[in-house]
Amino acid sequence: MTKKLNQILDDQNIQYVNRTKNSYRKHNLATKVMPGGNTRTTQWMEPYPFFAENAEGMYINDIDGNHYLDFMLNATTLILGHAHPDIVKTLTQQIQDGTVYSVPTDGQSKLADILVERVPSFEKVRFTNSGTEATMMAIMAARSFTKKTKIAKFEGGYHGTHDHVSVSVYPKKEDLNTETHPGVPEYSYQPKSILEDVIVLPYNDIEKSKELIHKFKDDLSCIIMEPIISNFGYLPLDLEFIKFIREITEELGIVLIFDEIQSFRVSSGGAQESFGVTPDMTTLGKIIGGGLPVGAFGGKDEIMELFDPTSSNYDIAHAGTFNGNPLTMEAGVTVMENLTSNNFEKMNHLGDSLRSKLSSVFNEINLDVQVTGYGSLFGINFNKNKIKDYRSFLNNNSDMTKILFSYLRNKGILLQLKNAGALNILMTEKEIDYLVDSTREISSEMKDTLDE
């Protein structure tokens, strides 16, 4: 980092520390009982995270009395905003009726009905408590269905925290080989067998992907991918590439799994509806639980039959003490009922407007920044090269990324650490303009120091 950029970041951190003294105290106490002071790596931010007191609508309030316009939305989850009155009402009623039973409720069927109706690839669906469990179960299903064991995923693709998707998720530049496969382990002593069973492909590279898929075709049960890549500032994949993957998987009898845990928010049927490409299976999470823990996986009848204890094809036990619990299911139904086509249109239109205003700002100040995103998702990338895959995304300037995040946090705006974010149904041009104007202020300052 240049001296001047370092100075800007230091100033921002000092301001933050001065504004968050109670959080600092709480954080220090928390570090005595939890590694890093919390229980989720993604809650970490430098120099320490602020602690939430409560949240309402578009804002989170911290325990020092600061307010943050929330574009993080718990990793895109809170599409209706915080504490939406309909969700509060639904949950209050359900809590009085009991929080969880060991038998099904109508809420499960109601949410399943809505999702099967909306998601093109869903003929049947099952619920889990997290997206991690959803991708894990979908992969098990693909293995059992195809009678093959290897899986393919993409470099830089995140699909939760279980072992078989934890390969080449965040590999460091210095650990990358010329080829994407074999992949890079995500932690020391990750079993070699996992690295052998997980084929790592490059996003948006038809030739290389084709070569690897053909090489392993006899053992490949599935390919898991995101149509809009969360880890690269919500970059939508090239449509040509998505279509190529659909065709080759169909041709070779490989199950195609779309991980739409984040991208489901771009239309009522998710990115698969927007792009017109239907996978064999889909995993969902985040928005479909109305702010409560959730995941779902589903797809073709003939695959989902593997979970049906009455079927002669039954093969996979899928337990889970809190699967489809009534609180999550009722909140999920409420959020879906609020997500009308008007609301999708409004959020996506606002997303277009945000991306276009941000791009104009960077053109105006002549700074190399790529604004990525799709629908209500966006990312701000300090990067001269066109982002198309993990390796090009890695070229994002990490110092400028940190400065923008820290500056916006002091202005009462919360983004994801890599300056990506999402909109909710409450936001208007006013909130967008505040984000754009604040981004212009700090970006001009950074540009001035670079020009000096």
Ligand X SMILES: Cc1ncc(COP(=O)(O)O)c(C=O)c1O
Catalytic residue set: 158, 259, 286
Based on CB atoms, which residue is closest to ligand X, 233 or 295? Answer: 295
Site for ligand X in 146-205 (CB under 6 A): 158-160
Residues 6+ apart with CB under 8 A from 97: 326
Based on CB atoms, which residue is closest to ligand X, 197 or 259? Answer: 259
Contact call for residue 418 and ligand X (CB under 6 A) = no
In the complex, least distance from residue 71 CB atom to ligand X, rounded to whole angstroms: 15
Contact call for residue 235 and ligand X (CB under 6 A) = no
Based on CB atoms, which residue is closest to ligand X, 228 or 358? Answer: 228
In the complex, least distance from residue 227 CB atom to ligand X, rounded to whole angstroms: 10
Q: Interface with ligand X by CB under 6 A: which range of 52-60, 102-110, 256-264, 304-312?
A: 256-264
> In terms of Cα–Cα distance, which of 417, 407, 413, 406 is closest to 442?
407
In the complex, least distance from residue 170 CB atom to ligand X, rounded to whole angstroms: 13
Based on CB atoms, which residue is closest to ligand X, 41 or 310? Answer: 41
Based on CB atoms, which residue is closest to ligand X, 257 or 400? Answer: 257
# of chain residues touching ligand X (CB under 6 A)? 15
Among 70, 259, 305, 431, binds ligand X (CB under 6 A): 259
Q: Is 412 exposed, middle or buried (0-12, 13-18, 19+ CB in 10 A)?
A: middle
Site for ligand X in 275-334 (CB under 6 A): 285, 295
Based on CB atoms, which residue is closest to ligand X, 158 or 393? Answer: 158
Contact call for residue 135 and ligand X (CB under 6 A) = yes
In the complex, least distance from residue 135 CB atom to ligand X, rounded to whole angstroms: 6
Site for ligand X in 203-222 (CB under 6 A): none
Residue with tokens 């931010």: 45
Contact call for residue 132 and ligand X (CB under 6 A) = yes
Q: Interface with ligand X by CB under 6 A: which range of 3-11, 17-25, 131-139, 249-257?
A: 131-139
Among 130, 146, 249, 419, binds ligand X (CB under 6 A): 130
User: End-to-end CA distance of the chain, in Å?
Assistant: 15
Contact call for residue 230 and ligand X (CB under 6 A) = yes
User: Would you tell me which residues interact with ligand X (CB under 6 A)?
Assistant: 75, 130-132, 135, 158-160, 226, 230, 259, 261-262, 285, 295
